[in-house]
Amino acid sequence: MEAHYSSAPELCVSEWVNTEQPITLQSLRGKVVVVEVFQMLCPGCVSHGLPQAAQVADTFPREHVVVLGLHSVFEHHAVQGTREALRAFLHEYRFRFPVAIDAPSGRGLPQTMTAYHMQGTPTMLLIDRKGRLRAQLFGQMPDMSLGAQIAQLVHEDGNTSEHSGLTRACEETSNDCNQGSCTLK
């Protein structure tokens, strides 16, 4: 008998940086997905969370593990909320993995952050090959332990034949959710 894990809610995204095509969790079934949730003005994200995510991308082969960033702004919206500021930040720090901007909700917390009941940033989401949320880690975690957790997800049975209904958490006001990802115009 196996533990029961919930399907990871789809990301609610207003814009993407470092990728030409929008990306959905749905489209990544069959791979392990690591999502680093951050704010560019969050010191722990800049010094620890994002470099660790970059190291995950360097350590595991891309056909097994995909690393995404999620810029979930819940404070100082005016100065870190823009795509231009985020692009400059990612460029200067040389973070090259795709980064989504968490769709604002008009109520402070952005939509994906709300859907996952996150406590703050940095938060790391580990999603298995069946699209299930296996770990949600707030704060810092040792590299060795993280490497071990991701490797476990890589090496376990990843048969994706079973149906795991897609969770829809993005707001109706999102006007382009028909591909699983909610893109605000």
The site for its own copies (CB under 8 A) is made up of 41-43, 46-47, 52, 55-56, 59-60, 76, 78-80, 82, 84-85, 88-89, 92-93, 142-152, 154-156
60 or 116: whose CB is closer to its own copies? 60
Shortest distance in whole angstroms from residue 142 CB to its own copies: 7
Nearer to its own copies, 47 or 175 (CB): 47
Residue 171, both tokens: 């707001």
Of 95 and 181, the one with the shorter C-beta distance to its own copies is 95
Specify which residues 68 forms β-bridges with: 35
Supply the minimum distance, in Å, between the C-beta of residue 82 and its own copies.
7
Closer residue to its own copies, CB minimum distance, 12 or 73: 73
Q: Alpha helices of 48-82 — where are they, by DSSP H?
A: 50-59, 77-80
Q: How far is the CB of 124 from its own copies (least distance, A)?
A: 13
